[in-house]
Amino acid sequence: MKRAFTNARLVCPTRGIVTGTLITEGDRIVSVGQTGLPSDTDVVECKGLTLAPAIVDLGVFAIDLPAFHAGGIARVGLMPDQSPVLDDPGIVQRAALIGKPTLWIHPIAAATKGLAGTDLAEMAINRQAGAKAVATGRGWIADSGVMRKVLGYARDLGLTVISHAEDGGLTGRTVATAGEAATRMGLASAPSLAEPLAIARDLMLAEETGARLHVRQVTTAAGFDLIRAAKRRGVAVTCGITPAHLLLSDIAMTDFRSFAHLSPPLRGEDDRQAALAAIADGTIDVLASGHDPRGPEEKRLPFADAAPGAADAEHLLALALTLVRDERLTIDRLFALLSANPAKVLGVEGGTLSEGAPADLVAFDAGAPWQIATEAMTAKTGNTPFDGLPVQGKVHRLFKGGTEVFST
């Protein structure tokens, strides 16, 4: 079936803002910016909404269909930190299937068996089973020899290695970034230096092996400097961040709100400003939710005892649009971070409004005001540090492979 999306502002990371009509046939985009309508076309009247490639959320920790759909997300990169761990081809294959038919799930396999950081997992057969990348999971591989083998093996297989950048020898069981906020609260803390130490080692190993490295979250000024320098040298490195580390500093923890207990922990204001500069100058490649829903038994505890993580998939677009309103990014550049770039990291189709691309589309009202409220969230749980925040940008319709999977 052919569909014509009319009266929409078309936003594409590669084409910019396009006028005209977008036409899909089956599960593909066949025309962008057309002025006339074929006679055999089903018309989708967008009524002035923005139409963009659906979001590719790189690095989620749970499958949460209602939250993904409400957030305009049609594809997710699923982290290996599951039960059981995604280190076996049968488990990887099942993970790729559980979202059908309304969500593309791209499993990210464990780089080491059980994510223990010692023995390499079977990357080759996991890739054959559907793994689109390999990752260290929530933790850092402390053994540099193991990490070098991971990078070399992944290079030979054409897979990106997704790393968590915190030196575990420094972070240990800490729950905050060392600074005034942690000191006043009496929280066990680690210096932010733990991040650039880990990044520096992984960058050197990636450069030496020629592997592709994606640092899932970079949150410190020193970390961004290392990524910039590596990119200038030609290292195949990309990096990401979540809205929480762009919009919040460690001040958000000062009332012991466990919803602000994240991994990596929130940083000081200087690092937050460095993150905003890094997203503006192109150092940051991916903006992701880091969706990690946690129930009250894990979150409604004293700060130090609560599990880290936030459930922000359904807020990702609205929070990201603050960067456009603050004139830090253009909207087409924003969708490069939300859609095109994460698709490239995973080596999958999607992320643009190009002819022949998958018809994964999100229609949203960029100016629609609403307020984030935990009790109104569609996610499995409402553990978000943005509870009560007024935002703008509401998803109205979501299409996966040309089929509508969400509408309001």
pLDDT digits (tens, 9 = 90+) for 208-229: 999 999 999 999 999 999 999 9
Phi (first) and psi of residue 324, to 5 degrees = -75, -45
Please say if the pLDDT value at position 402 is more than 80.
yes
User: Is the pLDDT assigned to residue 19 strictly greater than 90?
Assistant: no
- Least confident span in 37-46, 281-290, 299-308, 333-342: 37-46
Per-residue confidence band for 140, with pLDDT thresholds at 50, 70 and 90: very high
- Judged against a pLDDT cut of 90, whether residue 304 lies above it is answered with yes
pLDDT value at 40 more than 90: no
Identify whether 108 is part of a domain. yes
* CATH code assigned at 313: 3.20.20.140
pLDDT at 305: 97
The residue behind tokens 């995973």 is: 346
* DSSP class of 336: I
pLDDT (0 to 100) of residue 71: 98
pLDDT (average), residues 130-150: 98
In a domain, 408, yes or no: no
Within a domain: residue 6? no
**Residue 45 domain flag:** no
Sequence-ordered list of residues with C-beta below 8 angstroms from that of 130, at least 6 positions apart, any chain: 92, 93, 95, 96, 106, 107
Q: Name the residue with tokens 């069981």.
A: 173
For the chain, the average pLDDT equals 97
Percentage of the chain surpassing pLDDT 70?
100
Note the pLDDT of residue 37. Answer: 84
Q: What pLDDT is attached to residue 153?
A: 98
> Is 90 exceeded by the pLDDT of residue 52?
yes
Residue 392 predicted with pLDDT over 80: yes
* pLDDT for the residue 55: 98
Residue 1 and residue 42: Cα distance in Å, rounded?
A: 8
Could you tell me whether strands 161-163 and 213-215 are parallel, antiparallel, or unpaired per DSSP bridges? parallel
Mean pLDDT of the 395-400 span: 98
Peptide linkage before 243 cis (omega within 30 of 0): no
pLDDT of residue 39: 79
The model's pLDDT over 263-275, given as tens digits with 9 standing for 90+, comes to 999 999 999 999 9
User: Does residue 173 register a pLDDT over 90?
Assistant: yes
The predicted model gives 199-204 an average pLDDT of: 98
Could you tell me if residue 399 is inside a domain?
Answer: no
pLDDT over 90 (residue 160): yes
Is residue 49 assigned to a domain? no
**Domain assignment of residue 13, yes or no:** no
Q: For residue 40, tell me if it sits in a domain.
A: no
Q: How many domains does the chain have?
A: 1
Q: State the pTM of this model.
A: 0.97
Is the per-residue pLDDT at 345 higher than 90? yes
169: containing domain: 54-351+366-392
DSSP states of 105-172 = EEEEEESBGGG-SSSBP-HHHHHHTT--EEE-TTS----HHHHHHHHHHHHHHT-PEEE----HHHHT
Mean pLDDT of 40-47: 93
